[in-house]
Amino acid sequence: MSDDRGMSTVTVDDVRAARELLRGVAVPTPLVPSRALSEQLGGPVLLKCENLQRTGSFKIRGAYVRIAGLSERERAGGVVAASAGNHAQGVALAASMLGCKATVFMPVGAPLPKIAATRGYGAEIVFPGPTVDDCLVAAQKHADECGAVFIHPFDHPDVVTGQATIGLEVMDQCPEARTIVAPVGGGGMLAGVAAAAKGLAEESGADRKIKIIGAQAKRAAAFPPSLAAGRPTQIEIEPTMADGIAVGRPGDLTYAMFTDLVDAVVTVTEESISQALLLCLERAKQVVEPAGAAGVAALLEHSYAVEPPVVVVLSGGNIDPLLLSKVLRHGLAGAGRYLVVRCRLKDRPGALVTLLSELAELGVNVLDVMHERVAARLHVEEAEVLMHLETRGADHSEDVIARLRERGYTLTLS
């Protein structure tokens, strides 16, 4: 699998062979229409639910194909991986199915459910540092010292080929698709999907062109500067809720495939990611982790860039329940449906009851109240309440704030 430039490539025949290898290992995931997104875009939008894949993400596809391709001697020496969680689980499960030992390097602070699941599949876990890039360095060093095989999360043709089977499924399920959008970290999944989808289109002689778009978290977007520079470029990653796609440098293979096959890479904000996750849960009934919702966030921010019918890959659903509650609040706040308000009122009997009654009149759901009567910032006759409020939307929130101020309350929005 190499072209005349010496760079490994992935062909449609390679992907077909990987699909056969994965029968009984990876499940063909459903393609679910999204009415909410279809209405926003003015054309069909369908969600490719890799959050329903074994291990909760697409990673089992590439991990299994890579490990299955090792010799018996190589598998006897064990495999090593580095991951924030989804690749870790994919490698751990694939290794257990193929009878070899797995050691996985995970960042400090990786989501607890991902750590527990990885251990549950039989892998040994090491925590070398705070980022995936720290883990990549430590894992490669460990593999060199121990003679184990390093299973790269994205930058290997077998891994890309395994992930590319998503593209075959998408084209079988929606042959009329005009745009495919997917989250991007190191780029292995989208590179494979692009190779499969565009390769099939070329085989069939179709006149229409399939547009392939990647979505990266703005705080961890290595592809745009790399594509602008003409080479893979290392960036500093800022903290992002989308930890699964927080990769500081594209792979050499994936970068080369992107330049040939991917039409655009867009970035999405934390606010858009949280709103996308909320939309997936509330409207599509799909539990998706922040990284897995990046493609939906791209539609919310960059609808101009896509042409329906659109297929969006939900790449993973492994989210810590505590993080889910925080992100949902973030998404509700971004949609104007969740308010955190400080309100000053007279410190006298009945004042708090009056405020809460007025909120009830306005149709507000009070989720939490903290009442403070003694603080240096307050006058002797004042009290302050910190309230978490649920409203019906942005217009309702604005009306509530205006009405309370009209009634003489001093409000500060947090």
- Tell me the per-residue pLDDT of 157-215, one tens digit each, with 9 for 90 and over: 999 999 999 999 999 999 999 999 999 999 999 999 999 999 998 888 766 789 999 99
Q: Residue 63 falls within a domain, yes or no?
A: yes
User: Does the pLDDT of residue 310 top 80, yes or no?
Assistant: yes
Q: What confidence tier does 65 reach under pLDDT thresholds 50, 70, 90? A: very high
Residues 346, 312 share a domain = no
Among 129, 150, 171, give the residue marking a domain's end: 150
Q: What pLDDT is recorded for position 28? A: 97
Backbone angles phi, psi at 59, to 5 degrees: -65, -25
The widest CA-to-CA distance across the chain, in whole angstroms, is 83
Residues 173, 186 share a domain = yes
Q: What is the pLDDT of residues 240-265, one digit of tens each?
A: 999 889 999 999 999 999 999 999 99
Residues 247, 165 share a domain = yes
How far apart are the C-alpha atoms of 148 and 100, rounded to whole Å?
10
Q: Residue 364 falls within a domain, yes or no?
A: yes
Question: What value does the mean pLDDT take over residues 8-23?
Answer: 93
Q: Which residues pair with 378 in a beta bridge?
A: none
Q: Residue 6 falls within a domain, yes or no?
A: no
Q: Residue 383 falls within a domain, yes or no?
A: yes
Q: What pLDDT is recorded for position 2? A: 37
Residues 353, 237 share a domain = no
User: Does the pLDDT of residue 331 top 90, yes or no?
Assistant: no
How far apart are the C-alpha atoms of 60 and 27, rounded to whole Å?
10
Q: What pLDDT is recorded for position 212? A: 98
Q: What pLDDT is recorded for position 284? A: 95
Q: What pLDDT is recorded for position 1? A: 40
Residues 259, 323 share a domain = yes
Question: What value does the mean pLDDT take over residues 7-31?
Answer: 92
Q: What is the pLDDT of residues 131-144, one digit of tens each?
A: 777 888 899 999 99
Question: What value does the mean pLDDT take over residues 301-319?
Answer: 96
Average pLDDT along the chain = 91
Residues 205, 84 share a domain = no
Q: What pLDDT is recorded for position 49? A: 98
User: Does the pLDDT of residue 326 top 90, yes or no?
Assistant: no
Q: Residue 307 falls within a domain, yes or no?
A: yes
Q: Residue 2 falls within a domain, yes or no?
A: no
CATH number of the domain bearing residue 218: 3.40.50.1100
User: Does the pLDDT of residue 115 top 80, yes or no?
Assistant: yes
Q: Which residues pair with 364 in a beta bridge?
A: none
Residues 356, 322 share a domain = no
Q: What is the pLDDT of residues 66-107, one digit of tens each?
A: 999 999 999 999 999 998 789 999 999 999 999 999 999 998
Among 331, 346, 379, give the residue marking a domain's end: 331
Can you give the three-state secondary structure of the chain, one letter per residue?
CECCCCCECCCHHHHHHHHHHCCCCCCCCCEEECHHHHHHHCCCEEEEEHHHCHHHECHHHHHHHHHHCCCHHHHHCCEEEECCCHHHHHHHHHHHHHCCCEEEECCCCCCHHHHHHHHHCCCEEECCCCCHHHHHHHHHHHHHHHCCEECCCCCCHHHHHHHHHHHHHHHHHCCCCCEEEEECCCCHHHHHHHHHHHHHHHHHCCCCCCEEEEEEEHHHCCHHHHHHHCCCCCCCCCCCCCHHHCCCCCCHHHHHHHHHHCCEEEEECHHHHHHHHHHHHHCCCCCCCCHHHHHHHHHHHCHHHCCCCEEEEECECCCCHHHHHHHHHHHHHHCCCEEEEEEEEECCCCHHHHHHHHHHHCCCEEEEEEEECCCCCCCCCEEEEEEEEECCCHHHHHHHHHHHHHCCCEEEEC
Residues 317, 348 share a domain = no
Q: What pLDDT is recorded for position 131? A: 77
Q: Residue 3 falls within a domain, yes or no?
A: no
Q: What is the pLDDT of residues 25-54, one digit of tens each?
A: 999 999 999 999 999 999 999 999 999 999
Residues 135, 36 share a domain = no
Number of domains in the chain: 3
Residues 220, 368 share a domain = no
Residues 169, 295 share a domain = yes
Among 150, 179, 204, give the residue marking a domain's end: 150
**Residue 99 is part of which domain span?**
59-150
pLDDT above 70 coverage of the chain, percent: 97
User: Does the pLDDT of residue 4 top 70, yes or no?
Assistant: no
Question: What value does the mean pLDDT take over residues 5-16?
Answer: 76
Q: What confidence tier does 8 reach under pLDDT thresholds 50, 70, 90? A: low
Q: Residue 279 falls within a domain, yes or no?
A: yes
Residues 199, 130 share a domain = no
Q: What is the pLDDT of residues 343-373, one digit of tens each?
A: 888 888 888 899 989 999 999 899 888 888 7
Q: What pLDDT is recorded for position 81? A: 95
